Structure 1
Amino acid sequence: MTAERPESFAGVGDAFERLWTPHRMVYIDGENKPADASAGQCPFCRAPGRSDAEGLVVGRGEVAYAVLNLYPYNPGHLLVCPYRHVSDFTELTDAESAEVTALVQRAMRVIRAVSHPAGFNLGINQGEVAGAGIQAHLHAHVVPRWQGDANFLPVVGRTKALPQLLDDTRTLLAKAWAADVAG
């Protein structure tokens, strides 16, 4: 990440500093989006077949698991997914529905213990029009929030400054996940 001062540009400066985040183009260009809606193309079907570190998996249940969002809104942004490739919340079995809910609750406890957020955004986006980046595989978002974490960067610059690497976040959360005996 590099910030450029306006006086380094040719011509008249505009008083803006620029925070360049070219790594975000992968997300914007849809590089990691599945080519189709099949389970073979789905990152949420592939992740649990990898090691926890490689797949960014924080915790596993019987029918669902928690994984870091590859493009997090905030550090610790977790996704809770059923293992089964299912797109609609109404298609979950009773066991899947219960475990997704229990893992969302556990994710909140773990994130609180590790990062002490002031609150959370919880949600499931159903369909592309509702904001689902990967609509073929249901996933619940658990986004920790802190006072003042929303600033001009996401609104104006379509950039989010994240103070922690994904692997460091996964390691901290996975350690706390294993220690969470209330789950």
Structure 2
Amino acid sequence: MKVLWAPWRMEHVLGTTARAQGCLFEPPDTAVQDKSQLLLFRDELTVVLLNRFPYANGHLLLAPRRHLADLTELTPQENSRLMAMLAACCTILRRHLHPDGINIGLNLGAAAGAGIADHLHFHFVPRWQDDHNFMTVCAEVRTIPQHIERTFDLLAPDFLDLMPAPAP
């Protein structure tokens, strides 16, 4: 018998994870990147995080910086930047994790499945052919093949490359 270990998920499974102060999509400070927060990227309009409780390796979250709940509240500039970041996130995931596909989802409202309904955010879930993950189906447990901090280290340099060069 093979044993699959994912001990960092136990607090989430038991519901004993400490609640973060403030909004997940509004990490403290002004850092562009912060491994302790799983913050891969932050600019003036968007934020990209690794999901701390992922459905699959490389599960990203993309949100506007501004705290809003619905697509209809986005400015044209925010909307345009989010679309550009959707493409950039796909490119980075494909470059480093080589998925055969990527699910991109947006749940608007709690009734639609949004766990954090008051801050609009997209999910990116990399998928691999024939990796249907029997554990999720049989035991409602997810197995993630790479530690989340290793995934952060793998993706982080490419997200830093998205930052504009400082003005002279």
Matched with 1:84 is 66
1:27 paired with 2:20, answer: no
Unaligned 5+ runs, structure 2? 164-168
Structure 1 residue corresponding to 2:55, chosen from 73, 83, 87: 73
Q: Which amino acid aligns with 1:74?
A: A
Partner of 1:42: 23
Task: Determine the C-alpha separation between the residues in 1 that align with 2:19 and 2:69.
Answer: 15
8 Å CA contact retained: 2:133, 2:142? no
Considering only CA atoms, is the larger Rg found in Structure 1 or Structure 2?
A: 1
Change in CA separation of 1:108 and 1:163 when aligned onto 2, cut-off 3 Å = same
5+ residue gaps, structure 1, are 6-16, 35-39
**Which amino acid in 1 is paired with 2:63?**
C
Shift of 1:178: 3.4
Matches within 5 A, 1:1-183: 23-28=8-13, 29=15, 31=17, 41-46=22-27, 49=30, 52-179=34-161
Counterparts of 2:19 and 2:115, CA distance in 1: 8
**1:170–1:18: structure 2 CA closer, same or farther, 3 Å change rule?**
closer
Q: CA RMSD in A?
A: 2.5
Taking only the aligned residue pairs, the percentage that are identical comes to 38
Alpha-carbon distance change, 30 to 140 in structure 1, aligned in 2, over 3 angstroms: farther
Change (3 A) 1:18 1:128: farther
Deviation at 1:49, TM superposition (A): 4.3
Q: Deviations over 1:107-164 (max 9, x none)?
A: 0001111011101101111122222111121111111110122222111211111111
Residue type at the aligned position of 1:27: H
Q: Aligned residue pairs: how many?
A: 161
TM-score by length of 1: 0.76
Q: CA deviation at 1:24?
A: 3.4
> Contact 2:6 / 2:144 at 8 angstroms: preserved in 1?
no
How far apart, CA to CA, are the structure 1 residues paired with 2:28 and 2:147?
18
Residues 1:126 and 1:110: Cα distance change in structure 2 (over 3 Å) = same
Separation of aligned partners in 1, 2:150 and 2:29? 19
AA partner of residue 46 (structure 1): P
Q: Distance in 1 between matches of 2:150 and 2:6?
A: 20
Q: In 2, are the aligned partners of 1:21 and 1:159 still within 8 Å (CA)?
A: no
Q: Kindly state the Cα deviation for residue 89 of structure 1 after the two structures are TM-superposed.
A: 1.6
Compute the displacement of 1:70 (Å): 0.8
Q: Which has the higher helix share?
A: 1
